[in-house]
Chain A
Amino acid sequence: MWVYEKKLLYPVEVTTCNPMLARYIMEQYGGADGELAAALRYMNQRYTVPDKVIGLLTDISTEEFSHLEMLATMIYKLTKDASPEQLEKAGLGAHFVNHGHSLFYENAGGVPFTATYIQSKGDPIADLYEDIAAEEKARATYQWLIDISDDPGINDSLRFLRERENIHSLRFREAVEMLKDERDRKKVF
């Protein structure tokens, strides 16, 4: 089970009223390499990996949900008081007629989230290599978001999130090393 904590993992301060930026950040909210995909991918893979890496998948998945909440906070703040005209100018007109001011799991182009973004192969190495790739792709997405955003508060939070991808990638690489240590273990008995 999970217990909600009434706090963000890292402070989110939004400096500008910029619905266009909200639209771009949706790439990491409901996109293929976004935080929702990451959280669901790891949480689902954990049932069929060797016991020694279950903890890591559980803990990283849980952290991804806290990243999702940070992104939701950014999108919420950036669009909260925007008029329909402002949203339309920001390319969110179609979003507005379908969802009003609410958030939705979709990417920057408005494509709704789909489970086909993630995979579970039941093969520990295939799954961990997918996870490492996912972290590096998310890191790259954060880079391009930082490049396109001129909001210092948002960029501070995005820089934090990008660094977390580095650490998660490192841990998944370590998980691969842990599994390599199992080579020929059966013969030892």
Chain B
Amino acid sequence: MSVFDERMALLKKIQQTDFVVVEWTLYTDTHPDDEDALDQWREAIKDAAAARKQYENKFGPISLKSTPSKQALEVGWRWNQAPWPWQL
């Protein structure tokens, strides 16, 4: 698998797990007392964080809320660096 393909695959995993968080967030906005949903929402956030970590270890932070890994800095990662999402 090329580096580009690997990047897109790891990114897809983030998009999938983040999307589940988006869905539970909107659902719990209108179902604040659904305890089971709140549990699933918390689990979804954990899954999304794990997927994010996998990508970020290799390709650097997706947002300024994560600390850049040593590996990312060593290969020259900088925030202000292409490709931006619309360029990929």
Contacts of A60 in B (CB 8 A): 26
**How many positions in chain B have a CB within 8 Å of any CB in the partner chain?**
24
List the B side residues contacting A76 at CB < 8 Å.
86
Given A7-B11, A9-B15, A9-B19, the answer on whether A72 and B63 have CB atoms closer than 8 Å is no
Knowing A3-B65, A73-B86 are in contact, say whether A10-B15 is a contact too (CB < 8 A): yes
**Is B26 a contact of A7 with CB atoms below 8 Å?**
no
Known A3-B64, A6-B85, A73-B85: A11·B15 in contact at CB below 8 Å: yes
B2 on the A face (CB < 8 A): no
- Measured CB to CB, the residues of A under 8 A from B are 3-12, 52-53, 55-56, 59-60, 63, 69, 72-73, 76-77, 167-168, 171, 174-175, 178
For residue A157, give the distance in angstroms from its CB to the closest CB of chain B. Answer: 12
A172 to B30, alpha carbons, bound, how many Å? 9
Q: Given A8-B85, A171-B26, list of 12 further CB < 8 A pairs?
A: A7-B18, A7-B62, A8-B15, A8-B86, A9-B22, A10-B19, A11-B11, A11-B15, A55-B29, A73-B86, A171-B29, A175-B30
From DSSP, what is the main secondary structure of chain A's interface residues?
helix
Q: Which residues of B contact A (CB under 8 A)?
A: 8, 11-12, 14-15, 18-19, 22-23, 25-27, 29-32, 61-65, 84-86
Write out the residue numbers on chain A whose beta carbons fall within 8 Å of the beta carbon of B27: 171
* In-complex Cβ contact of A63 among B22, B30, B32 (8 A): B22
Complex Cα–Cα for A108 and B73 (A): 43
* CB of B66 to closest CB in A, whole Å: 10
11 A-B pairs with CB atoms under 8 Å apart are: A3-B65, A10-B15, A11-B12, A59-B26, A63-B22, A63-B26, A69-B85, A168-B26, A171-B26, A171-B29, A175-B30
- Chain B residue nearest to A103 in the complex (CB): B86
Q: Choose from B12, B14, B26, B63 the contact partner of A167 (Cβ within 8 Å).
A: B26
Q: Is the CB of A3 within 8 A of B85?
A: no
Residues in chain B near residue A12, CB distance under 8 A: 86
Residues of chain A lying within 8 A (CB to CB) of residue B15:
7-11
